[in-house]
Chain A
Amino acid sequence: MHIPDAFIPLSQSLIYWVIALIFIGLSLRWARQELTDEKVPLIAVLAAGIFAIQAMNIPIPFGTSGHMVGAALAAIVIGSPFAGIFVLTLVLIVQGVLFADGGLTAMGANIINMGVIGGFVGFYGYNTMMGISRNMYISAFLAGYLSLLVSALLCAVEMAFAGTFPLVPGLVSMGTYHAVIGIIEGGITAIALYMIASARPDIMEHAAGVAA
């Protein structure tokens, strides 16, 4: 879902960058206040894993492929939507600058779609589902799924503002493909959560709803 430069007029890219910078600032403030020293290696390993898995495009029907974004996973494991923004911002900078994966002028929009939406929908979606289902893995799957689908639909709206896609056909196309790609996002989020919870139950205590 990495938007290339050509898809958004420069003036609009600038607006997305300004909004993204506000969230980057908030995520840095979160890191200063909440990211404890012992969580730093964990978030670094998560970021490395998320970068690698983003390179793994999985084929879906319709001659299309999709890959995991990972903001929901980071937000759930670290316990804050800002963790998703923190990780995805750095992933997108490295991808855009070194590998031409996602534009540079369009990076603000990509940070909003994948980092901000991914982090917030992933984190609050997970907590809401935990309240209903009390099952970490069902909650993680649905939160991952929903985070990807909402990102894609917002992307379609941005493409409509840009004049790149007509609104309704854009929503239908983006919705169709990402309704399938969401299964990849949700599935890997749940599997990764299971692996982390099995190896280190202590890390996942907050996410298992012990506080409730």
Chain B
Amino acid sequence: MDQKTFLMAGVALALLVAVAAPFLASGSPDGLESAFFGLYGAKTLTGSELDDDQAEVAEEEVVEKTGNDFEFASPMPDYTVEGWDKAGEVVAVVLGTLLMLGLVWGLGRAVAATKQ
């Protein structure tokens, strides 16, 4: 496979995953969140039930413990666009994927170019 076809296939695959992710991705807490909820009494280690009220309490509790209440308003929190629902999630992940492509390509060119 020549370089151009190979790269285009790679970008196409990345975009395919980006479009599919919002529909296929699990909304369950990830490993770190699950460990957190488990250790703060909102779920058991191997149980699948999450106590939402206790989870909220846990989130307040941890801020008290570490004293880190830093907050930052991301434009698309949790890969969502306000008022856009699923379409917004697709837009967010696709946008992020294209941004990564451009950012790494650009920075890579900028630093690699100094060699040649």
Contacts and interface: CB of A to CB of B under 8 A. Distances in A.
Interface of A: 1-3, 5-10, 13, 28, 31-33, 35-53, 55-59, 61-67, 86-87, 90-91, 94-101, 103-105, 152, 155-156, 162-166, 169-170, 172-174, 176-178, 181, 199-200
Interface string B11-35: 1011101101110111111111111
Contact of B45 (A164, A173, A178): A173
Given A33-B115, A56-B24, A199-B6, 9 more contacts: A31-B108, A35-B112, A49-B13, A49-B14, A51-B14, A52-B15, A58-B25, A63-B34, A156-B35
7 contacts: A31-B112, A44-B101, A48-B104, A53-B17, A57-B28, A62-B48, A97-B74
B62 to A, nearest CB: 5
A174 B31 CA distance: 7
Interface residues of chain A: helix, strand, loop or mixed (majority): helix
B10 A49 contact: yes
Given A174-B32, A174-B35, A101 B62 contact: no
A63 B1 contact: no
